[in-house]
Amino acid sequence: MRVRVERATFDIGVETAAFVAAVGGAGAVVTFTGIVRDDDGRLERMEIEHYPGMTERTIASFTERAVKRWSLIDAMVIHRYGPLKPGQPIMMVATASRHRANAFVAAEFLMDYLKTRAPFWKKEIGFSGENWVKPTLDDEGAVGRW
């Protein structure tokens, strides 16, 4: 199990290849990468803040929970902080299991928890102002099913 919270960008292909190479016995690997989106062309950047130490412990806790619950061979979470431009990766989740169903559901669990329970604070900086991002009712509903 690997959890990284870092400022630097990461290469999705390199991370995926390294993860796959390390998960002997896996019959399935699922990856998901979140990207900074700009739906209407008004986003200059997103700024993500966190509490070092606490953030890693929190993410490690629910990643460990996913590994146990779905009998994963391995799991990885990478999450960035600092200023990010539209189109840049924010986070990546990778799960490996003997069968695809467990890998998919565990990845979805991790994504839902990252979106709603990981201690990150996200601010969108637009060309005409800024606002803090809050979880939506859909986000809360998604995490509520676990």
Per-residue pLDDT reduced to its tens digit, 65-105? 999 999 999 999 999 999 999 999 999 999 999 999 999 99
Contact criterion met (CB below 8 Å) for 138 and 108: no
Q: What is the DSSP letter of 87?
A: T
Tokens of 108: 């979805």
Gyration radius (Cα) of the chain, Å: 15
Helix, strand, coil percentages for the chain (3-state, nearest 5): 35, 35, 30
pLDDT value of residue 77? 98
Of residues 145 and 107, more confidence is placed in: 107
64/75 Cα distance (integer angstroms): 8
pLDDT value of residue 136? 87
Which CATH number goes with the domain that contains 31?
3.90.1170.40
* Residues constituting the chain: 146
47/133 Cα distance (integer angstroms): 10
Please enumerate in sequence order all residues whose Cβ is within 8 A of that of 56, keeping only pairs 6 or more positions apart, or say none: 3, 5
Q: What's the pLDDT tens digit per position in 128-140?
A: 999 999 888 898 8
pLDDT value of residue 59? 98
The pLDDT of residue 47 is above 90: yes
Share of the chain above pLDDT 70, in %: 100
Domain carrying residue 48: 2-144
- Domains identified in the chain, total number: 1
